[in-house]
Amino acid sequence: MTGSNRVAPESALNCQMCLWLCKAHGDRLSRQNRLFCLPGCQQALRGWEELLGSFWKAETPALGEACLGGGSGSSPWPWLPAGWTAMEYDEKLARFRQGHLNPFDKAPLQNQQEQKRAGEDFPQKDVNLGLSLEDPVFPCSERTMDLGLAEDHFSRPVGLFLASDVEQLRVAIEEWKQRILELPDNSEKQKDAVVRLIHLRLRLQELKDPSEDEPNIRVILEHRFYKEKSKGVKQTCDKCSTVIWGLLQTWYTCTGCSYRCHSKCLDLITKPCVRSKVSHQAEYELSICPETGLDSQDYRCAECRAPISLRGIPGEARQCDYTGLYYCSSCHWNDQAVIPARVIHNWDFEPRKVSRCSMRYLVLMVSRPVLKLRETNPLLFNYVEELVEIRKLRQDILLMKPYFITCKEAMEARLLLQLQDRQHFVENDEMYSLQDLMDINAGRLSCSLTEIHTLFAKHIKLDCERCQAKGFVCELCKEGDVLFPFDSHTSMCTDCSAVFHRDCFYDNSTTCPKCARLTLRKESLLNRELQA
């Protein structure tokens, strides 16, 4: 058809058939720039025939005769085929539309509404198109999916769901879940459906937990909570044991014990911060799994008091290997940690299951030097050689400390800060932390401490002249190099701190000549005072 053959659309309305076609399919014709009419109804029918396809080619002659007045004059619809009723026409045309849909049309409901409005002015009566009542009907969405034609530049974005009611979203989520199960596995249609389901669930979560202004700091039961700004890290609420969606929900973390929870769960917290216990009572339970039984807990969780049992009820009783108490699944996540009592008594570093509260306490206590092995289990040094080696290195470092304190170069170089992670190593040689024992068992502490010991000894004996001048000469043999108290072949007097060769000192029955000289000097001074 050329543009010269087109005339005003009103001229097409010269019969009732053209009137119905214009109103029922005018939107489709407008989109394709095909709204035209030719002089004469026969030419108009040829235009409709070209648009609507091959099926109309078989039926247009009869329709043309009806439109030109060939139909029965007694029928209100003179263009209907002989023997047809308006109801049959309406049913057949509806089935034809459902079976012959535009696969690019993603708004079938809108088309149906437009067709309904068109039918208000002219009742929709289906023409007998050769379709039986038993012909299958294909919904538009399924038909489009089957064809795989998803490109539509005018469609709404994926996940755009205008429903604002929680119940509507839940219904839509269930429908999409069922549709995903019906689609073929690993197909593109199933992947698109999963994306839509995710968007619906995110929208539902937004409605359930609306964003609101929350304070940056909250103090509850000695917990000091700070609002988290991380949106992508997946965390679990320590109170309700559900996932924290950082992108949608406001959540807080305690700076003292790393307790994490939703903002809505803050007011439900009943357990104080374990950092307060660490500050006031920094000690371990040194009994191995001190179990007392569920009856002593009244068959309730030791923390939240929820009913628990070994069998018979849904609440599973989980035992904490550190405290020996039983907890529910919300307070005991089967976290594993090294138990201090098993390390001290059995030198056993196998991680055991502990409750959440015990886990936080052990994490805070792991670097605190509160274990005195000589008092708790002195026989441990007879069976663990690494402990003897570490004790000797620590004793040598304590002997080096006075050199560094009185050395200007050592203070400027801050040599003692080499042990800033283990400050108790420069204070005493008896206290150990659980982390120290774990590193000793793994072999890490011996290597690092040996390197530090070598660095300290190099400064005193080679690099610094002032520290070298503070060395000793063996007064018993008066031979050999300058001696230092941390040398392996020396012995030191416990009274005056004089240093001798070990062999010389023990050959002299551990008698210190310096102590004898000082004793004589004191006696002479005392005699002078008495004579005066």
Asked if the structure places residue 457 within a domain, the reply is: yes
Q: Are residues 439 and 392 in the same domain?
A: yes
The domain boundary, picked from 366, 396, 419, lies at: 366
Evaluate whether residue 375 is within a structural domain: no
Q: Which domain holds residue 489?
A: 380-525
Rounded-to-integer distance, Cα 265 and Cα 263, Å: 5
- pLDDT, mean over the chain: 74
Q: What digits encode the pLDDT tens for the residues 37-84?
A: 434 445 555 555 555 544 444 444 444 444 444 444 444 455 555 566
The answer to whether residues 415 and 480 belong to one domain is: yes
How many of the other CB atoms lie within 10 Å of CB of 18?
Answer: 21
How large is the average pLDDT for residues 201-215? 65
Confidence of residue 392 (pLDDT cuts 50, 70, 90): very high
Residues 172, 221 within the same domain: no
Same-domain check for residues 406 and 480: yes
In a domain, 423, yes or no: yes
Q: What pLDDT, on the 0 to 100 scale, is given for residue 310?
A: 77
In a domain, 61, yes or no: no
Confidence class for position 326, pLDDT limits 50, 70, 90: very high
Kindly indicate the confidence band of residue 11, based on its pLDDT and cuts at 50, 70 and 90: very low
Residue 149 lies in a domain: no
Question: The domain that contains 221 carries what CATH number?
Answer: 3.30.60.20
* Gyration radius (Cα) of the chain, Å: 46
Residue 446 and residue 53: Cα distance in Å, rounded? 88
**In this structure, is residue 23 part of a structural domain?**
no
Q: Which of 184, 207, 230 is the last residue of a domain?
A: 207
Question: Which tens digits make up the pLDDT trace of 446-486?
Answer: 999 999 999 999 999 998 889 988 888 888 888 778 889 99
Enclosing H/E stretch for 335: strand 335-337
Domain-embedded: residue 427: yes
Task: Determine the Cα–Cα distance for residues 327 and 303; give it in Å rounded to an integer.
Answer: 7
Residues 6+ apart with CB under 8 A from 79: 15, 16, 17, 63, 66, 67, 71
Distance spanning both ends of the chain, measured CA to CA: 145
Distances from the Cα of 27 to the Cα of 45, 89, 123, 141, angstroms: 18, 22, 18, 20
Instruction: Return the SS3 of 418.
Output: helix
Is 464 part of a structural domain of the chain? yes
Domains in the chain, number: 4
Residues 239, 311, single domain; the answer is no
Do both 200 and 264 map to the same domain?
no
Do 338 and 467 belong to one domain? no
- In terms of domains, do 316 and 353 share one? yes
The CATH number for 349's domain is 3.30.40.10
The larger pLDDT score, comparing residue 388 to residue 70, is at: 388
Checking if the pLDDT of 119 tops 50, the result is no
The answer to whether residues 400 and 516 belong to one domain is yes
C-alpha 354, offset from chain centre: 21
Spatial CA neighbour of 439 closest among 466, 412, 421: 421
- Give the model's confidence band at 395: pLDDT under 50 very low, under 70 low, under 90 confident, else very high: very high
pLDDT tier for residue 313 given thresholds of 50, 70 and 90: low
Rounded distance, CA 51 to CA 45, Å? 10
The answer on pLDDT for 97 being more than 70 is no
For residue range 511-522, list pLDDT tens digits in order.
888 888 888 888
Q: Is the dihedral of CA 302, 306, 312, 317 positive or negative?
A: negative
Are 358 and 402 contained in the same domain?
Answer: no
Looking at per-residue pLDDT, the higher value among 25 and 345 belongs to 345
Residues 470 and 425 in one domain: yes
Closest by CA to 137, choosing from 192, 87, 91, 189, is 91
Residues 234 and 346 in one domain: no
- Ramachandran sector of residue 39 (left: φ over 0; alpha: ψ -120 to 50; beta: rest): beta
Contact yes or no for 403/470 (Cβ under 8 A): yes
Q: Which of 324, 340, 366 is the last residue of a domain?
A: 366
Residue 343 has pLDDT above 90, yes or no: yes
